[in-house]
Amino acid sequence: MVGGSVVHACRGAAPRQEKLHQGTRGQGGWGPDLRCLRAIIVIPLLTGVPSVLIRNVAAHPLFKRAFPSTWSKTLVFADQLNAVSSLNAAQIHFAATHFVGTQKILVSLIRKLRAINPGFLVLHYHLAVWQSGKHVPYIIDGLHWGNDYNYVTKHERWFLHTSWASRDNRKDRLKASDGKYLLNITNPAYFRYLVHSLIRQARAGHDDGIFLDSYSTDAVSYFMHNYSHWRYPRIVQEHKQLGGLTWVQASDNFMRRLTAHLNKVGIYCLPNMGDLVTGWDHTDYALANGGMLEGAPGQWSKYGQRQWIASANRALKLINANKIIIFESYLQHATDYRQRMYWLGTYLLLRGRYTYITYFKRNPFEYFPEFEINIGAPRETAKSINDLRHGELFVRDFTAGQVVVNSADRESYFYSIPPGSRMARVRGGGAIGQSGKITGQLRLIPVSGRVRLPPRTALILVDHH
């Protein structure tokens, strides 16, 4: 029971709370046009050998499990595995050995995953600044799905309202189109309740951290489209209900304090920060331990190269501060190889010490052969994405290869291939079936001379050993 009054639901999978899914339209094509192709090397994918298995979990003074380093390897953090109705033993083994973690799963599945990989990370799911609708469940104690609406709704001042004068009127609460309510995150009593609830839920659920969904100021403005005072530009102005603070100021204070409380008891605080494409959003996302960049890098090029550069720089600021960053994008077509490699190439330009990626078409239990490309550790870091600019292309050198990205909107550019390079190309990938094996193929193709990169493509080169 949470807060004295909870509606219990079933133990099975529950529908996910609505999120800002803003997937981009897939681009056809196979990728860069190549010259001088020679013999093809087919790389067997690791189906029996764990690619992420963590046996010796590094001890940390605060956190029971550490996020593994991505400095020299691409690692995948899966979204909600409860989106799959059930996983058999082979699929559980795959998840435990190919994903570093997931969110929003029951203790029964957590135990099975950690029996294989003790370092498997799990995040508890909770809305960040919202109260779920009455019939929207989340995991309340590791075992059951439920909701604390019946308790929270008794405290009218915990909610935000259409005006200061109506702050005691239930009918005037700020309600999003999907049924959730915007909360007054400056209310001390609500904050105490939230901290206590999150810690209790995370401990009961054997969770390592909290994923706080729909946190970004951009998301709040989006969901408040029916209320002019609470969407941009009014949302960045002072509000009497927030004690004279703007939403950004109130949000920063909220996240600073919440992160401190959770970290003190060894719980990571990881909000959904959105896709970082909103220029007017000056929320300090570095106040948390990191978070998810939902829709990134998929959304970045939707608004042109200038937006791609601006968003990449916002992400770099967090990555260079060693924040835990999870890139998550949504495929329109699982076979859009050009788009998949472009997203991975962008990720590789930015990858730091705790930078994870996932993208999928139907559900989060998907895996793609390009995640197995090994180009080692980066030889350089960048404070700005323009530090990696080589002419009109963006290039980053690694100890065992290179990544080259053309983020231009319409123009193609040529790149001179270093001697002894092989280009990574993929086929297949996607849902992991009952066999628990990767579908698809990764090929390394020797290539030389000049290669043309069409707009919004990436070239991933692996050194010949």
User: What percent of the chain clears pLDDT 70, i.e. is strictly above it?
Assistant: 87
Q: Does a structural domain hold residue 19?
A: no
> DSSP letter at 408?
-
Q: Does a structural domain hold residue 377?
A: no
Q: Give pLDDT, residue 138.
A: 94
CATH assignment of the domain containing 192: 3.20.20.70
pTM for this one? 0.89
> Is the pLDDT confidence value at 47 over 50?
no
> DSSP letter at 259?
H
Are the C-beta atoms of 233 and 314 separated by less than 8 Å? no
Q: Does a structural domain hold residue 348?
A: yes
* Residue that the structure tokens 């053309």 belong to: 406
Q: Does a structural domain hold residue 262?
A: yes
Query: Which of 374, 432, 381 has the alpha carbon at shortest distance from 91?
Result: 432
Q: Does a structural domain hold residue 382?
A: no
> Is the pLDDT confidence value at 34 over 70?
no
Phi, psi at 463, each rounded to 5°: -65, 145
> Is the pLDDT confidence value at 260 over 80?
yes
Question: Where does 91-176 show beta strands of DSSP type E?
Answer: 99-103, 121-127, 130-131, 138-139, 145-146
Q: Does a structural domain hold residue 396?
A: no
pLDDT in tens, 369-395: 999 999 999 999 999 999 999 999 999
Are the C-beta atoms of 343 and 297 separated by less than 8 Å? yes
How many domains is the chain partitioned into structurally?
1
Measured CA to CA, the distance from residue 81 to residue 449 in angstroms comes to 44
Q: Does a structural domain hold residue 239?
A: yes
CA 164 vs CA 103, 183, 184, 233, 253: distances in Å: 37, 14, 12, 19, 21
Handedness of CA 275, 280, 281, 286 (dihedral sign): positive
Whole-number average pLDDT of the chain: 88
Q: Does a structural domain hold residue 456?
A: no
Q: Give pLDDT, residue 465.
A: 67
Query: Which of 369, 370, 378, 372 has the alpha carbon at shortest distance from 351?
Result: 378
Q: Give pLDDT, residue 60.
A: 54
Length of the chain: 465
Q: Give pLDDT, residue 448.
A: 96
> Is the pLDDT confidence value at 143 over 50?
yes
CB atoms within 10 A of CB 201: 21
Are the C-beta atoms of 446 and 38 separated by less than 8 Å? yes
* Residue that the structure tokens 């998810």 belong to: 292
Query: What would the two tokens of residue 351 be?
Result: 């990858």
Measured CA to CA, the distance from residue 348 to residue 337 in angstroms comes to 16
Measured CA to CA, the distance from residue 209 to residue 203 in angstroms comes to 9
Residue ranges making up the domain that contains 354: 53-367
